[in-house]
Chain A
Amino acid sequence: MIGLVHYLTVGALLFTIGLYGVLTKRNIVAMLMSIELMLNAVNINLVAFSHFITPELLTGQVFALFTISVAASEVAVGLALVFRVYHDRNTVYADRLNWLRW
């Protein structure tokens, strides 16, 4: 019997993988991909809570829709920033963007 715990475990694993990617990747586009993984983990948790805890309200599914739209706008603005940085600095590696460093 597949219950809530199974889905929460998948969500936790996906979130951890995304966290690892954000901490270790050098390419900004790869970091954006890892953030998308984390947002998907949150969405799995929301939909699982909606299915198992409050199935008559659908609150989790509505909030998952909000998360998806916020993630879409985040990708748009993030990639526009990547284009801008690439145009100005000719690099997409996060550790080379150190001109605020002392």
Chain B
Amino acid sequence: MSEWGLTVAFYSLATITVASAIGVVRKSNLVHSALLLALCFVGVSGLYVLLHAEFLAAVQLLIYSGAVAVIMVLGIMLTQRSNMNDTNPSNDRSRWAVAICGMFTLVTLSVIATTPWHYSIAMTIEDSAPVIARVLLTEYMIAFEATAVLLLAAMVGAIVLAKGVEDK
């Protein structure tokens, strides 16, 4: 892709991602928030494609936009009874939150702007999925197995929590 096309793609994807994320925290209808969250995940996976991480983009689409967003909608449907119009209210501390978030953004952006980044001159690996598979099963074997055990424990724990313990 040409340089100009990459720039246009980056700015449109970044706009979609940030705008839908703002919609997630600003909408008063929780179902609209969940749908905008799915849109935000799609935008993030587009950014991954621009960064030559196609495998991660596919994982992002499958797990986040597919599973997580659907589970969120399921949770909303099971815990809200009446109409959905005002199901996502804010509390009365939004002024403090704006101050804290503004300071956080200022500090982070100034650190990003003033750090001397050392760019690598090596080329990005074109076909990344086999390399990720090999690295996962050699260098990061322990972390991989720990993550597998964590996922299993989380799934069993979620089932037990949601089902509840029977009273005698």
| A25 and B93 alpha carbons, distance in the complex (Å) | 9
| A53 and B119 alpha carbons, distance in the complex (Å) | 5
What B residues does A10 contact at CB under 8 A?
14, 17-18, 47
**Identity of the chain A residue whose Cβ is nearest the Cβ of B52 in the assembled complex:** A51
Q: Could you tell me which B residues sit within 8 Å of A by CB distance? A: 3, 6-7, 10, 14, 17-18, 21-22, 24-25, 30, 33-34, 37, 40-41, 44, 47-48, 50-53, 55-56, 59-60, 63-64, 67-68, 71-72, 74-76, 78-80, 87-91, 93-94, 96-98, 100-101, 104-105, 108-109, 112-113, 117-120, 122-125, 128, 131-132, 135-136, 140, 143, 147, 150-151, 153-155, 157-159, 161-162, 164
**27 A-B pairs (CB sep. < 8 Å):** A2-B10, A9-B112, A14-B40, A15-B108, A17-B25, A19-B101, A20-B97, A23-B101, A24-B90, A25-B91, A29-B75, A50-B53, A53-B120, A54-B120, A62-B132, A64-B53, A65-B56, A65-B136, A68-B63, A68-B64, A70-B147, A76-B158, A77-B158, A77-B161, A79-B162, A84-B162, A93-B89
What A residues does B97 contact at CB under 8 A?
19-20, 23-24
Given A24-B91, A25-B88: A19 and B100 interface contact (C-beta under 8 Å) = yes
What A residues does B93 contact at CB under 8 A?
23-24
Check if B89 sits within 8 Å of A27, measured CB to CB: yes
What B residues does A73 contact at CB under 8 A?
150-151, 153-155, 158
| A72 and B120 alpha carbons, distance in the complex (Å) | 32
Across the interface, A40 reaches (CB within 8 A) one of B41, B76, B119, B140, namely B41
**Identity of the chain A residue whose Cβ is nearest the Cβ of B60 in the assembled complex:** A68
What A residues does B17 contact at CB under 8 A?
10, 14
Check if B117 sits within 8 Å of A1, measured CB to CB: no
What A residues does B117 contact at CB under 8 A?
4-5, 52-53
Check if B151 sits within 8 Å of A87, measured CB to CB: no
Range of interface residues on A (Cβ < 8 Å):
35 or more
Interface residues of A, dominant DSSP:
helix
Across the interface, A55 reaches (CB within 8 A) one of B3, B120, B143, namely B120
Given A24-B97, A71-B68: A19 and B18 interface contact (C-beta under 8 Å) = no
B interface footprint on A27-58 (CB within 8 Å = 1, 0 otherwise) = 10110111011001001100110111111111
